[in-house]
C-alpha cells in the first residue's frame, strides 16, 4: 500500500508550536535524572525557570494576578511556591496554596517539593485531597490541594484568609472547579487587596485570562492593570508537525497506515497514537496485528499496546515497561495520555484530531457522549507529547486547512469548551448558593453557562427543595445538601433517609453509585450483568444489587482478595466505597441525622430512592423500550444493568442518569411503583384521568 501523503508546512503553521503539559510528571522525571552529587539547591538553580525568579517575584509584588505561561517540566508548580516561601510570602503564618485538577498531581508535586525543601511531607510542605490530609494547620507553609478541595474550603473560610498567594495550576484545562475558583478569587480579591493569584495556563488562552482579570480595570490606563502575563521561555525539544494532503475518509485506517509508514521510514523511537475510545482502540490494534506479518523480514518488530482509563491498572502499567530489543512500542491511547498519563521516550505522535466529549443537553436533561473534532489547544498538547525527551514528529490525520484561526471558521475549535458550559450545573449552583452567592446572574463566570442550563438547574434544585421560590437556599435541608459530597439527587435521598428509616442502606448505595462502574475487575466485559450470575442480583434492580455486593464484600472479601477475584469484585473500588461511606456517615452524624436500618424492607429503600430520583422515571412500553415520564423520550436499559435481562414487575423504573451514545441508555435502575411518584413528589407529578402527568 502506498504511504499516506503528509505535508510539512514550510513556515510554522498555527498549532505547530508546542505548549505546556502537566508539570507534575515533568518534575518527577527530573527526580530520576538529576545528578546525585549535586546539592538540591544547586539542582534547583540549574532549572531554566531559575533565571526568571526575580521577575516572577517582582510581578507578584506589583500585580494582583500573574498569568504564567510555561512548558512541561519547566518547574512552575514545584519552584514558584518555593520562591514565594523563600521571599517571605509565608511569614506570619500565611500559606501559599497551589491547586491541581487531579489527586495524583497534588500528591506527587507535594512529595517532590517536600524533598527539595527538606521537610517531612505534611509538615512545612503538605497536601490535601479527599480522604487524605497530609498538612498541618500550624506548620504547613506550602500546600498542594485539588481545586475541588480549595473550593470546599471556601464554605468554612469564605475569604480564604490563611492564604497569601493562591496558584491555580493547569487552569487552561478549564475544569468546573477551576472556573468556580476563578470567579470566587476575583470576588475575594476585592475584599482582600493583598491576596495574590497566580494562574498557570497555556500560551493559547493566556490572553483570555488576562482580559478576564483586567476587565474591571481602566482599559485606557495600563498602569492600573491588575494582571500580567509572564512567559517562561525555556524551550522543549522541537516537534515537527505534518498534516495530511487530503482529508481522509477513515482516520482509523489512516492511523494504521501512518504507524506502518513511521515504522518503516523513521528512525527508532516509540509511537503514541491518539484515538477516541476503547472499542476503536481494540479494533485498530486488531487490524494492525493482522497486518504485522506483511512487515519485511529483518525489520524492527512492532509492539502495539492499548491505553484507556477503564483498562485494569496492571495492564495500564505495561506501557511503562521498556521496549524489548529491536522493538518499537506503539501505544494507542484515549485522551488519558494528553494530560493524566505521561510516557517518556515517545518520539512520534499520531493524532486523529477527534475526541469523545460529554455535553449536557438542558432540553432533554441528558448527557450526550459524542465524537467531535478536538481543539487546537488539545492538538498542541498532543504534539508536545512527542518532544519530552528528544526532538519528535507529530502526524495529524487531517489537512492543515482544518486548523482554526481568528478569522477562519472551522469545525475545530481553538480551545476546548469549559466544563461548566457543557455540564449539568445544578451541583455547582447549589454550592455557590451555599457560599452566599444568591444572585447567580451577577456571578462573574469567565465563561457563563448557557442561560437555559442555569434555568434548568435552578428549576431542578427547587423541585428537590434545596432552594425556595426566591432562589434562596432552604435551611437546613438545602444547606446540608450542598455540604454533602454527592450529586443533588443522591444528597436529597441521603437526607430523606432519616424519615424513611433506611440510612444504613442508603449510605451504602450512595457510596456505591459514586464508582459503581468500576466495580468489576476483569476488564470492561464484566459489569452488572455479570454480577447477576454472582448471586448479588436483586430483582428490584441495580441499587439493591450494589447494596448486596457491598455487604458481601464487607463480610467476606475485604481481607480476601481471592474471594474478590472469584466474585468479580474490584477490591480497590469497593475499598474506596467503604471510605466514601465512612465520610458520608460523618456528615449525617454532624447533622444529627439518625442512621437506622430498614431491616430488609426493600420497599422503604426504593421509596427513599424515589424521593430524590423522581425526575428520572420511565415506563416500559409493550415493545420493551422505555418512555421517560418527563419528556416522553425513548430510553433503553444499558447492557451493564441487571435490568437488561429482566422486566420491571410494575412496568416502572427510576434511574440515576441517561447517557446518549448509540442510543439513550439508562444507568443504575430500580423498579418502583407508579403511585410512589405522585405520593413522594406531588409537586412534580399528579394523576389526571388515571394517567401520570408532570406539572
Nearest residue (CB) to DNA, 277 versus 304: 277
> Which of 662, 690, 691, 695 contacts DNA by CB under 7 A?
662
Alpha helices in 363-487 (DSSP H): 376-384, 426-434, 451-463, 477-483
Nearest residue (CB) to DNA, 59 versus 620: 620
Nearest residue (CB) to DNA, 210 versus 341: 341
> Which of 486, 492, 502, 681 contacts DNA by CB under 7 A?
486
Nearest residue (CB) to DNA, 17 versus 661: 661
> Which of 15, 70, 81, 101 contacts DNA by CB under 7 A?
101
Tell me, what DSSP letter sits at residue 411?
S
CB 564 within 8 Å of CB 570: yes
- Cα 402 to Cα 611: distance, rounded to the nearest angstrom: 49
421 touching DNA, by CB under 7 A: no
Q: Which three cell numbers stand for residue 620?
A: 416500559
Q: Which three cell numbers stand for residue 207?
A: 490572553
427 touching DNA, by CB under 7 A: yes
Nearest residue (CB) to DNA, 37 versus 662: 662
Question: CA-based Rg of the chain, rounded to a whole angstrom?
Answer: 27
Q: Which stretch binds DNA (CB under 7 A): 51-59, 98-106, 384-392, 493-501?
A: 98-106
> Which of 2, 267, 298, 624 contacts DNA by CB under 7 A?
624
Tell which positions 121-160 bind DNA, by CB under 7 A. 129-130, 146, 148-149, 152
> Which of 43, 323, 340, 558 contacts DNA by CB under 7 A?
340
517 touching DNA, by CB under 7 A: yes
The candidate with the shortest Cα–Cα distance to 307, out of 368, 385, 371, is 385
Side-chain half-sphere exposure of 137, counting CA atoms within 13 A? 2
Tell which positions 219-278 bind DNA, by CB under 7 A. 276-278
Q: Which three cell numbers stand for residue 216?
A: 474591571
Where are the strands (E) in 105-193, listed by range? 125-129, 132-134, 142-146, 163-168
> Which of 659, 674, 678, 694 contacts DNA by CB under 7 A?
659
Nearest residue (CB) to DNA, 250 versus 279: 279
- Cα 646 to Cα 628: distance, rounded to the nearest angstrom: 18
- Cα 564 to Cα 556: distance, rounded to the nearest angstrom: 8
Side-chain half-sphere exposure of 6, counting CA atoms within 13 A? 21
Q: Which stretch binds DNA (CB under 7 A): 202-210, 287-295, 402-410, 655-663?
A: 655-663
CB 74 within 8 Å of CB 142: no
- The 3-class secondary structure across 479-501, one letter per residue, is HHHHHCCCCHHHHHHHHHCCCCC
Q: Which stretch binds DNA (CB under 7 A): 96-104, 373-381, 463-471, 672-680?
A: 96-104
Q: Please, what is the minimum distance in Å from the beta carbon of residue 77 to DNA?
A: 15
- Cα 186 to Cα 197: distance, rounded to the nearest angstrom: 9
Q: Which stretch binds DNA (CB under 7 A): 284-292, 484-492, 494-502, 615-623?
A: 484-492
Instruction: Give the contact letters, 291-320, x = binds to DNA (CB under 7 A), - = no.
Output: -----------------xxx----------
The candidate with the shortest Cα–Cα distance to 175, out of 204, 149, 142, is 149
At residue 516, φ and ψ (nearest 5 deg) are -55, -30
Nearest residue (CB) to DNA, 214 versus 529: 529
> Which of 144, 665, 676, 684 contacts DNA by CB under 7 A?
665
Q: Please, what is the minimum distance in Å from the beta carbon of residue 643 to DNA?
A: 8
Nearest residue (CB) to DNA, 358 versus 479: 358
Q: Which stretch binds DNA (CB under 7 A): 66-74, 95-103, 200-208, 541-549?
A: 95-103
> Which of 55, 572, 594, 663 contacts DNA by CB under 7 A?
663
Instruction: Give the contact letters, 47-86, x = binds to DNA (CB under 7 A), - = no.
Output: ----------------------------------------
Given its phi and psi angles, is residue 296 left (phi above 0), alpha (psi -120 to 50 degrees) or beta? beta
SS3 630: coil
Nearest residue (CB) to DNA, 434 versus 637: 637
SS3 637: strand
385 touching DNA, by CB under 7 A: no
> Which of 187, 358, 465, 630 contacts DNA by CB under 7 A?
358
Q: Please, what is the minimum distance in Å from the beta carbon of residue 103 to DNA?
A: 3
- Cα 528 to Cα 532: distance, rounded to the nearest angstrom: 6
H/E segment holding residue 573: helix 571-591
380 touching DNA, by CB under 7 A: no
627 touching DNA, by CB under 7 A: no
The candidate with the shortest Cα–Cα distance to 600, out of 544, 535, 653, is 544
> Which of 52, 102, 112, 382 contacts DNA by CB under 7 A?
102
> Which of 295, 336, 414, 437 contacts DNA by CB under 7 A?
336
Q: Is 50 exposed, middle or buried (0-12, 13-18, 19+ CB in 10 A)?
A: middle
- Cα 287 to Cα 7: distance, rounded to the nearest angstrom: 25
591 touching DNA, by CB under 7 A: no
> How far is C-alpha 643 from the chain's CA centre?
29
Nearest residue (CB) to DNA, 399 versus 450: 450
534 touching DNA, by CB under 7 A: no
8 touching DNA, by CB under 7 A: no
Nearest residue (CB) to DNA, 78 versus 640: 640
> How far is C-alpha 308 from the chain's CA centre?
14
The candidate with the shortest Cα–Cα distance to 235, out of 360, 70, 356, 358, is 70
- Cα 527 to Cα 542: distance, rounded to the nearest angstrom: 11
SS3 185: helix
> How far is C-alpha 596 from the chain's CA centre?
34
Q: Please, what is the minimum distance in Å from the beta carbon of residue 278 to DNA?
A: 4
Q: Which stretch binds DNA (CB under 7 A): 180-188, 288-296, 320-328, 523-531?
A: 523-531
Binding site for DNA (CB under 7 A): 101-104, 129-130, 146, 148-149, 152, 175, 276-279, 308-310, 334-336, 340, 355-358, 369, 427, 485-487, 514, 517, 524-525, 527, 529, 624, 637-640, 644-645, 659, 661-663, 665, 667
Amino acid at each position: 500500500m502506498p504511504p499516506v501523503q503528509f505535508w510539512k508546512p514550510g513556515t510554522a503553521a498555527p498549532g505547530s508550536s508546542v505548549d505546556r503539559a502537566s508539570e507534575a510528571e515533568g518534575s518527577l522525571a527530573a527526580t530520576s535524572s538529576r545528578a546525585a552529587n549535586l546539592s538540591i539547591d544547586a539542582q534547583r538553580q540549574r532549572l531554566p525557570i531559575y533565571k526568571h525568579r526575580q521577575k516572577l517575584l517582582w510581578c507578584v509584588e506589583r500585580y494582583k494576578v500573574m498569568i504564567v505561561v510555561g512548558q512541561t517540566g519547566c518547574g512552575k508548580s514545584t519552584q514558584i511556591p518555593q520562591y514565594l516561601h523563600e521571599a517571605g510570602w509565608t511569614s506570619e503564618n500565611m500559606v501559599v496554596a497551589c491547586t491541581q485538577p487531579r489527586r495524583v498531581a497534588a500528591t506527587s508535586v507535594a512529595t517532590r517539593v517536600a524533598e527539595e525543601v527538606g521537610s517531612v511531607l505534611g509538615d512545612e510542605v503538605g497536601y490535601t485531597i479527599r480522604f487524605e490530609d497530609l498538612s498541618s494547620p500550624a506548620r504547613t507553609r506550602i500546600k498542594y490541594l485539588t481545586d475541588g478541595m480549595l473550593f470546599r474550603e471556601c464554605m468554612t473560610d469564605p475569604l480564604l484568609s490563611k492564604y497569601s498567594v493562591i496558584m491555580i495550576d493547569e487552569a487552561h484545562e478549564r475544569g468546573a472547579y477551576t472556573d468556580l475558583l476563578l470567579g470566587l478569587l476575583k470576588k475575594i480579591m476585592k475584599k482582600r487587596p493583598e491576596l495574590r493569584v497566580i494562574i498557570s495556563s497555556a500560551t493559547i488562552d493566556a490572553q483570555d485570562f488576562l482580559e478576564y482579570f483586567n476587565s474591571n480595570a481602566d482599559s485606557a490606563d495600563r498602569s492600573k492593570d491588575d494582571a500580567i502575563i509572564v512567559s517562561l521561555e525555556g524551550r522543549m525539544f522541537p516537534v515537527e508537525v505534518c498534516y495530511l494532503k487530503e482529508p481522509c475518509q477513515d482516520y482509523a485506517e489512516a492511523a494504521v497506515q501512518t504507524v506502518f509508514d513511521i515504522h518503516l521510514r523513521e528512525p527508532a523511537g516509540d509511537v503514541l497514537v491518539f484515538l477516541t475510545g476503547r472499542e476503536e482502540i481494540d479494533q485498530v490494534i486488531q487490524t494492525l496485528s493482522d497486518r504485522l506479518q506483511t512487515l519485511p523480514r529483518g525489520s524492527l518488530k512492532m509492539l502495539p499496546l492499548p491505553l484507556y482509563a477503564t483498562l485494569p491498572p496492571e495492564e495500564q502499567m505495561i506501557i511503562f515497561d521498556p521496549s524489548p530489543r529491536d522493538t518499537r512500542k506503539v501505544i494507542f491511547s484515549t485522551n488519558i495520555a494528553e494530560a493524566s498519563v505521561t510516557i517518556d521516550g515517545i518520539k512520534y505522535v499520531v493524532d486523529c484530531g477527534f475526541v469523545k466529549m460529554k455535553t449536557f443537553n438542558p432540553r432533554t436533561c441528558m448527557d450526550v457522549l459524542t465524537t467531535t473534532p478536538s481543539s487546537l489547544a488539545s492538538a498542541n498538547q498532543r504534539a508536545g507529547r512527542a518532544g519530552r525527551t528528544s526532538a519528535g514528529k507529530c502526524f495529524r490525520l487531517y489537512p492543515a486547512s482544518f486548523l482554526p484561526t481568528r478569522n477562519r471558521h472551522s469545525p475545530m475549535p481553538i480551545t476546548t469548551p469549559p466544563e461548566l458550559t457543557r455540564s449539568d450545573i445544578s451541583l455547582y449552583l447549589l454550592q455557590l448558593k451555599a457560599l452566599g452567592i444568591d444572585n447567580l446572574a451577577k456571578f462573574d463566570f469567565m465563561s457563563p453557562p448557557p442561560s437555559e442550563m442555569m434555568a434548568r438547574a435552578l428549576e431542578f434544585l427547587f423541585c428537590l427543595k434545596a432552594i425556595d421560590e426566591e432562589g434562596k437556599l432552604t435551611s437546613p435541608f438545602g444547606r446540608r445538601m450542598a455540604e454533602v459530597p454527592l450529586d443533588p439527587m443522591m444528597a436529597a435521598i441521603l437526607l430523606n433517609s432519616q424519615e424513611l428509616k433506611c440510612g444504613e442502606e442508603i449510605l451504602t448505595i450512595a457510596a456505591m453509585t459514586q464508582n459503581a462502574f468500576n466495580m468489576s475487575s476483569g476488564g470492561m466485559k464484566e459489569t452488572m450483568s455479570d454480577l447477576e450470575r454472582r448471586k448479588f442480583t436483586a430483582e428490584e434492580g441495580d441499587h439493591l444489587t450494589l447494596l448486596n455486593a457491598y455487604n458481601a464484600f464487607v463480610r467476606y472479601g475485604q481481607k480476601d482478595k481471592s474471594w474478590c477475584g472469584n466474585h468479580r469484585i474490584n477490591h480497590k473500588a469497593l475499598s474506596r466505597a467503604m471510605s466514601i461511606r465512612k465520610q458520608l456517615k460523618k456528615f449525617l452524624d454532624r447533622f444529627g441525622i439518625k442512621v437506622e436500618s430498614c431491616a430488609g424492607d426493600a420497599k422503604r429503600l426504593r421509596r427513599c430512592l424515589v424521593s430524590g430520583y423522581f425526575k428520572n422515571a420511565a415506563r416500559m412500553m409493550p415493545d420493551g423500550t422505555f418512555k421517560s415520564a418527563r419528556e416522553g423520550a425513548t430510553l433503553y436499559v444499558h447492557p451493564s444493568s441487571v435490568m437488561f435481562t429482566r422486566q420491571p414487575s410494575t412496568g416502572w423504573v427510576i434511574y440515576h442518569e441517561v447517557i446518549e451514545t448509540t442510543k439513550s441508555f439508562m444507568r443504575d435502575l430500580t423498579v418502583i411503583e407508579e403511585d410512589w411518584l405522585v405520593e413522594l413528589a406531588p409537586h412534580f407529578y399528579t394523576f389526571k384521568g388515571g394517567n401520570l402527568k408532570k406539572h
